[in-house]
Each structure stands twice: as C-alpha cells, then as structure tokens.
C-alpha cells in the first residue's frame, strides 16, 4: 500500500490539474463580470440571470440521473463507448423535445424568463443550448472519469474564453442589455462545445451505437432516484432567484445574481475538487482504503474553503469597485452567498456512504431536508427584505443540506468526526450575518474571524505541514 504522504502528493497534482481550468475560468469571469455590470444595469442583468438559471434547472431534469449512473458504472464496464452512448440516449431525446417546444411555443417561456412574450429568439436559443449542454455533460464526464485532469481544464477554459470574447464584441459594437449576456453565453458555449464534439466525435458516431436494454435498465434504475434528488438540489440552488422573481423585481435579481458571480470564486474550487475527487473516491473504496484517507481529505477541504470564505469577507468592499456603483448592495450579501458553494464542496467529502451503499434514493431526503426550510424562509423573508432575505434563506438551507447528507452517509457507511465542520460553519454564518451591516468596524471583526478559523483548525494545519515535510 502506498504511503499516505505519497498518495497525498499524487492527489495534490491531480487536484491542481482539475482545478486549473475552473481557476483560470474564474479569472476570465472576473474580467467578464465588470465589463458586463458596468454597461448593463441590474434589472437587465436579472433577466439574463433567469435565462441561465432555468437552463441549469431544465438540464438537471433532462439528465434523469443517468449522468451519475454513468460515473457509477464506468470502472465496471469494459466498453466505455457503448456505456456513453447508451447513457446519452434518453437525455438527448428529451433535450431535442425541449428544443422542439421552444421552436413551436416560445412565448410562454419568454414571459417567464424575461417578463415579455416577444423575446422569441433568445427563447429558441434556450432550446438549442439545452441540446449542447446534454452532449457536453456526458463527454466531459468521460474526460473526467479517465482522470485527464489538464485536458478537462483546457476544455473548461475554452468556453469561458469565447464567452468573454463575445461579451466584449456585443458591448462595444452591438447592444448593452440582457441580450448581450444571453447571446454571448450561447455563442461562446456553442463554439467551445463544437471543438469538444469534434475531438470526441468517435464517441458520438451513430454508426457505432447499439442499444443495450440491460445496460439501459441498470442506468435508469440507479439514475431515477437521483433525478428526483438532483432536481431538488437544483431547485434549492435556484429557489432564491425564483422567489425574487415571484415577490421582488428584476433589479433585486440582478444584484443577487451579480453577487453570486463573486461568491462563485468558491464554486470554482467546488467544481475543480469534485472533478478530481469523485473518481478518486470510487477507486479508494474499491481498493478498501482506510477511512482515515477520506477523513484527511475532508479536513483539508474544510480548511481551504473556510480560508477562502474569510478572504471574501475581508475584501468584500472591493466588490463595489469590481461591479460598479449600481450593484452597491452586493458587498453585504456576498458573505452569506459564499456559504453555499463552501458547504456543498465540503459535503462532497462527507456524503460518500450514500453512493458507496448504492442507496441513491437517500438524496431525495437530503433535498427535501434542505428545500423545506429554504421555501419557508424565502416566503417569510423575500417579500420584506428582497435579495438579503433570499441570501439568508439560502445559507441556512445549505446547513440542513450538509447535516442530512452527512447523517445518512454515516448511517450506511463509516462515520468520521465532523464536529469541527459544524463549529467552522457556525463561525462563518455568524460572521456573514454581521457583514450584512454597513459598519466601519467590519474589517476588524473579519480579522477576528480569520484568527478563530485558524485556531479551530490548527490540528489540520499541523497534519498538512507533516505531509509537506515528508513529501519533500
């Protein structure tokens, strides 16, 4: 068996490889955000955000949980191409159905997304994007499961670059409203995906397709409980903006969504970490690695993500400069909104018992445990407090999400201590509430929070120091 420190060094290299794309993509987004928000007001940005939100929610439903089933079956299947094509079949057919509906009946969706029924072209592009997103999802999963870290990152960077390029072109030469964001996102995504489709055209070759009923049944049986759970999770992630659409206005949605873009610096590490962690966790489980391996990863991720969150607290005043004065309220929301990707990422290290035990239906209960308080808090807070109420509801709901995931995982696999996790969460939540207040002494409070976070996790810091010394 490999020495733990050697294993940690190998994992670190793979983590860097998988994180490189999201990190560089985040840097590109940080260039895109101020370009967009300086020229597009919050109300217009809010309309564009609804397009992106519903694209994500619809995509989650269309996958039918088969994308998760694909990763579960990957290492146990010899013919990877057959597995991919059979996994892709039903989601792609549903995506084509969505495209057909947007071509025939665009007006109702246009009213829901943009507030008026004559936005026909962007609504039809919604259908086109749906097809591309389904194809991209399964091809990117194939790259990820092969643990091709740097290629995975390159593909992620390519799309972000084209979105930035189209954003600049539209703002300078064409228009400065919500359609700038919509068209830039759609065209950037399509061009990036076309390169991906060409590179992996062998996997998409219809001549090689052979329907395998037994394999399809296996994928569907595993995936259907997951589609309910992932749909609940997707609704949880977008419920705040749906609530703002119902009980507030596009201006509040725009400010909220722009703040989410800043908090997405943690989502960058979430996607990078998940991309590397899922195949590693499955392999470790197959190799019967000690639970201490999983515990070390969880503690390390907790430290890294909490330090990133505190850094956002400390430098939150720079957000106004980054976004423009029209988005002044963003600096007070970012503390609460960054808890969402932080808690989700850490829960990826404490929920493994659910997938290892093949009890995917447990994710339904996880989603319900988080969605229930989210709905109640949104109903109570959003009509009175707007974006701030939605941010509070989201942060508290994700604490329930983590608790449910961790509890159910421990019940069906092996539990390891998470008391330190909850203590860190409570410190960050209290700090996020304080950061809602426009006070001159907030920086001093945030520095105290940094000290507390380091003090609580000094055991993890010492562990990482030992691995660093032994690895060198």
Confidence of residue 272 (pLDDT cuts 50, 70, 90): low
Domains held by the chain: number: 1
Lowest mean pLDDT among 20-29, 114-123, 296-305, 446-455: 20-29
Q: Is 175 helix (H, G, I), strand (E, B) or coil?
A: coil
Higher pLDDT, 175 or 415: 175
Do 368 and 426 touch, CB atoms closer than 8 A? no
Lowest mean pLDDT among 46-55, 267-276, 302-311, 317-326: 267-276
Contacts of residue 471, Cβ cutoff 8 Å, sequence gap at least 6: 5, 6, 8, 9
pTM, two decimals, is 0.78
Residue 412 structural domain:
4-471
Confidence of residue 12 (pLDDT cuts 50, 70, 90): low
Confidence of residue 429 (pLDDT cuts 50, 70, 90): very high
Q: How crowded is the C-beta side of 166, counted as CA atoms within 13 Å?
A: 20
- Which region, left, alpha or beta, applies to residue 288 given φ > 0 means left and ψ of -120 to 50 means alpha? left
Cα→Cα distances 384→244, 258, 381, 387, 390, Å: 11, 20, 6, 9, 10
Confidence of residue 153 (pLDDT cuts 50, 70, 90): confident
Look at the alpha carbons of 404, 407, 413, 417 in this order and tell me if their dihedral is positive or negative.
Answer: positive
Do 383 and 416 touch, CB atoms closer than 8 A? no
Mean pLDDT, rounded, of the chain = 84
Lowest mean pLDDT among 187-196, 201-210, 288-297, 385-394: 201-210
Q: Look at residue 1 in the predicted model and tell me its pLDDT.
A: 47
State the maximum Cα–Cα separation within the chain, in Å, rounded to a whole number. Answer: 66
Most confident stretch, 233-237, 261-265, 272-276, 427-431:
427-431
């Amino acid at each position: 068996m490999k020495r733990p420190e050697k294993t940690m060094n190998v994992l670190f290299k793979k983590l860097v490889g998988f994180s490189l794309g999201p990190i560089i993509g985040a840097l590109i987004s940080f260039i895109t955000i101020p370009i967009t928000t300086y020229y597009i007001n919050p109300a217009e940005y809010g309309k564009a955000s609804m397009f992106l939100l519903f694209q994500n929610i619809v995509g989650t439903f269309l996958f039918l949980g088969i994308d998760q089933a694909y990763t579960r079956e990957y290492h146990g299947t010899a013919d990877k191409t057959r597995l991919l094509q059979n996994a892709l079949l039903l989601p792609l057919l549903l995506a084509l159905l969505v495209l057909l509906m947007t071509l025939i009946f665009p007006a109702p969706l246009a009213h829901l997304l943009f507030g008026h029924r004559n936005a026909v072209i962007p609504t039809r592009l919604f259908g086109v994007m749906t097809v591309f997103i389904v194809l991209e999802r399964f091809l990117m999963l194939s790259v990820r499961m092969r643990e091709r870290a740097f290629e995975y990152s390159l593909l992620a960077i390519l799309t972000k670059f084209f979105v930035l390029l189209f954003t600049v072109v539209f703002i300078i030469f064409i228009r400065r409203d919500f359609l700038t964001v919509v068209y830039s996102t759609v065209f950037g995504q399509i061009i990036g995906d076309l390169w991906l489709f060409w590179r992996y055209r062998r996997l998409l070759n219809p001549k090689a397709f052979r329907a395998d009923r037994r394999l399809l049944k296996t994928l569907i049986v595993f995936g259907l409980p997951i589609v309910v759970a992932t749909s609940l999770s997707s609704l949880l992630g977008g419920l705040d903006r749906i609530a703002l659409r119902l009980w507030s206005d596009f201006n509040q949605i725009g400010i909220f969504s722009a703040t989410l873009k800043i908090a997405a610096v943690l989502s960058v590490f979430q996607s990078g970490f998940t991309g590397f962690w899922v195949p590693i966790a499955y392999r470790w489980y197959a190799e019967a690695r000690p639970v201490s391996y999983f515990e070390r990863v969880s503690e390390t991720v907790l430290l890294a993500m909490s330090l990133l969150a505190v850094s956002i607290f400390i430098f939150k005043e720079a957000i106004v400069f980054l976004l423009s004065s029209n988005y002044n309220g963003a600096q007070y929301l970012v503390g609460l909104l960054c808890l969402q990707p932080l808690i989700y990422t850490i829960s990826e290290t404490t929920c493994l018992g659910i997938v290892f035990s093949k009890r995917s239906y447990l994710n339904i209960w996880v989603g319900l445990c988080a969605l229930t308080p989210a709905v109640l808090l949104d109903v109570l807070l959003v009509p009175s407090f707007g974006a701030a109420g939605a941010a509070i509801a989201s942060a508290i709901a994700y604490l329930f999400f983590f608790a449910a995931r961790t509890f159910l995982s421990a019940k069906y696999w092996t539990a390891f201590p998470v008391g330190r996790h909850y203590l860190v969460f409570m410190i960050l939540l209290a700090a996020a509430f304080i950061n809602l207040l426009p006070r001159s002494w907030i920086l001093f409070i945030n520095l105290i929070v940094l000290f507390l976070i380091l003090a609580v996790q000094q055991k993890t810091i010492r562990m990482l120091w030992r691995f660093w010394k032994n690895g060198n």
